[in-house]
């Protein structure tokens, strides 16, 4: 009798599986009990995460309907997104776009609609459409299968706040308060406790999920602004697994909304941008204190589009102007933190009508000096390498029916939430087992990644 796959030593099998794309590893769990046991082992999850790379995770966005789809964009081979010396005559780039889902907010309500016959199933699924209405009213909407139901607009949708160590922080659509943390790869999620009530009316201006290396804890921050003539900025923190929030003092920030929450080396950062000024706010998750950050490496913003993120384990700032894209990284190797310019790209050199302006979000920096960015308005990735004949390679997402997209840099993780929570009394839920029959618009779409030679037909200013 010949050798069979189960005869392969477990150590060899583990070394092979751990290098596969995330979706392939999930499929391997269905091969046999041995493989399922190996991949489900917490030790495998830790080994996988230790060598896992960050890849873009894309979400279609449209305020007229609800989509729970997330797409992790991974390479099919070892070259990945490193497109130096890429053959421009090859129109298709070989990438895996594997689909995952957000949990539903208030899923019990949808299930009750279904049980009461307000939403009726087809032979396969229940399809739900939501149209924009006043948030205090309800509206009667026709489903694509001809049945009708009553639903409140975006009551069951979540916003994506940020990613940290394979976990996503989600917030309520209305008010944007942190509401849940999920791992889309394992399908697990937890609901966050409601925050304390405040004597004065407050508005959320910033939130984010981060990790404290010293305490080995995951923490969610939120910064609230009092609705008073001279408002305080109240900062509160929640440690995953506990049942409450606690105050951590006053935040040193302006009235404007904070954007691009980013966790790097135990620090949680936000970008504060109010024309013509820009600054970075930081919070130490170990000491639970706000710390100062060096001033941004430029003066007035002057209309330039700003973004911030994690580039290879360092905080980065990206400023896109009419003819230039510049990326700085935070250098913390010395006694003082310093901003250093990492990438400087000269774009159309005066021919503005062939260069799409807007926000460029750094996704990944490669060892050979290649840079991958994402442009939300164009549904496209932009790759730059200073040695390429063409300064830019455009990779557009095809098949998106939504008006826009958002993308974050995400490290896929098989680590279970039960292995990272502080407490043991928190209910861990599963995306795939709740409202399994309910299907929302856009969840059947198939995306592909196609190279575009140029954007000369776009007039984006």
Do 62 and 35 fall within a single domain? no
Coil, strand, or helix at residue 377?
Answer: helix
For 383-398, write each residue's pLDDT tens digit. 888 877 667 788 888 7
Residue 327: the pLDDT is 93
CATH number, domain at 190? 2.130.10
Mean pLDDT score, 202-230: 92
Q: How far apart are CA 36 and CA 31, in angstroms?
A: 7
Q: Give, in order, the Cα–Cα distances in Å from 120 to each of 65, 124, 138, 146.
A: 19, 11, 18, 10
Identify whether 118 is part of a domain.
no
Residue 101: the pLDDT is 86
Residue 460: the pLDDT is 32
Do 227 and 267 fall within a single domain? yes
Do 263 and 184 fall within a single domain? yes
Q: Give, in order, the Cα–Cα distances in Å from 367 to each of 81, 339, 371, 407.
A: 12, 20, 9, 22
For 12-56, write each residue's pLDDT tens digit. 888 989 988 898 899 999 888 888 999 999 999 999 999 999 999
- Domain of residue 362 covers 52-105+157-452
CATH number, domain at 12? 1.20.1280
**What is the pTM (predicted TM-score) of this model?**
0.85
Do 168 and 37 fall within a single domain? no
Identify whether 136 is part of a domain.
no
Listed residue (418, 354, 419) closest to 392, CA to CA: 354
- For the ranges 89-103, 315-329, 439-453, the maximum mean pLDDT occurs at 315-329
Residue 199: the pLDDT is 79
Do 239 and 386 fall within a single domain? yes
Residue 398: the pLDDT is 74
For 134-150, write each residue's pLDDT tens digit. 333 333 333 344 333 33
Identify whether 123 is part of a domain.
no
Beta bridge partners of 373: 362, 382
Residues 6+ apart with CB under 8 A from 432: 101, 187
Residue 321: the pLDDT is 79
Do 36 and 174 fall within a single domain? no
Do 198 and 180 fall within a single domain? yes
Identify whether 61 is part of a domain.
yes
Identify whether 111 is part of a domain.
no
How many helical (H) and strand (E) elements, i.e. helices and strands, does the chain have? 5, 30
Q: Give the distance from CA 228 to its chain's centroid.
A: 33
Between 314 and 305, residue with greater pLDDT: 314
Do 249 and 162 fall within a single domain? yes
Identify whether 151 is part of a domain.
no
Do 34 and 73 fall within a single domain? no
Do 11 and 92 fall within a single domain? no
Do 331 and 380 fall within a single domain? yes
Asked if residue 372 has pLDDT above 80, the reply is yes
Do 172 and 240 fall within a single domain? yes
Count up the domains in the chain and report the number: 2
Identify whether 461 is part of a domain.
no
Identify whether 121 is part of a domain.
no
Tell me the percentage of the chain whose pLDDT exceeds 70: 72
């Amino acid at each position: 009798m010949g050798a069979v796959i189960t005869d392969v030593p477990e150590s060899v099998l583990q070394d092979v599986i751990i290098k596969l794309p995330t979706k392939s590893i999930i499929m391997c769990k269905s091969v046999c009990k041995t493989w399922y046991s190996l991949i489900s082992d917490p030790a495998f999850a830790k080994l996988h995460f230790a060598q896992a790379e960050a890849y873009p995770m894309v979400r279609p966005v449209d305020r007229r309907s609800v989509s729970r789809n997330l797409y992790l964009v991974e390479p099919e081979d070892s070259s990945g997104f490193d497109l130096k010396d890429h053959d421009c005559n090859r129109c298709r780039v070989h990438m895996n776009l594997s689909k995952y889902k957000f949990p539903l907010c208030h899923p019990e309500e949808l299930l009750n609609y279904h049980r009461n016959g307000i939403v009726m199933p087809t032979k396969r699924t229940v399809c739900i459409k939501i149209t924009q209405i006043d948030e205090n009213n309800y509206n009667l909407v026709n489903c694509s299968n001809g049945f009708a139901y009553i639903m409140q607009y975006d009551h069951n949708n979540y916003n994506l706040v940020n990613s940290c160590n394979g976990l996503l922080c989600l917030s309520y659509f209305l008010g944007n308060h942190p509401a849940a943390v999920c791992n889309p790869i394992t399908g697990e999620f937890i609901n966050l406790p409601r925050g304390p009530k405040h004597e004065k009316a407050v508005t959320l201006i910033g939130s984010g999920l981060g990790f404290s290396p010293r305490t080995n804890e995951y923490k969610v921050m939120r910064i609230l602004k009092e609705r008073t003539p001279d408002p305080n900025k109240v900062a509160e923190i929640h440690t995953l697994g506990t049942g409450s929030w606690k105050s951590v003092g006053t935040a040193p920030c302006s009235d404007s909304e904070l954007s691009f929450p980013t966790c790097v080396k135990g620090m949680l950062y936000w970008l504060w941008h109010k024309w013509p000024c820009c600054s970075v706010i930081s919070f130490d998750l170990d000491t639970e204190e706000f710390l100062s950050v060096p001033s941004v490496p430029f003066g007035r913003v002057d209309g330039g589009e700003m973004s911030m993120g994690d580039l290879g384990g360092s905080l980065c700032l990206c400023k896109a102007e009419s003819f230039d894209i510049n990326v700085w990284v935070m250098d913390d190797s010395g006694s003082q933190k310093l901003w250093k310019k990492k990438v400087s790209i000269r774009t159309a050199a005066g021919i503005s009508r062939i260069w799409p302006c807007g926000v460029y979000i750094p996704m990944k920096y490669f060892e050979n000096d290649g840079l991958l960015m994402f442009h939300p308005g164009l549904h496209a990735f932009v790759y730059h390498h200073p040695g390429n004949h063409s300064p830019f390679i455009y990779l557009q997402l095809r098949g998106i029916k939504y008006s826009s997209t958002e993308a974050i840099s995400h490290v896929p993780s098989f680590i279970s939430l039960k292995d990272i929570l502080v407490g043991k009394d928190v209910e861990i839920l599963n995306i795939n087992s709740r409202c399994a029959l309910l299907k929302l618009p856009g969840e059947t779409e198939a995306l592909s990644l196609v190279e575009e030679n140029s954007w000369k037909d776009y007039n984006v200013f």
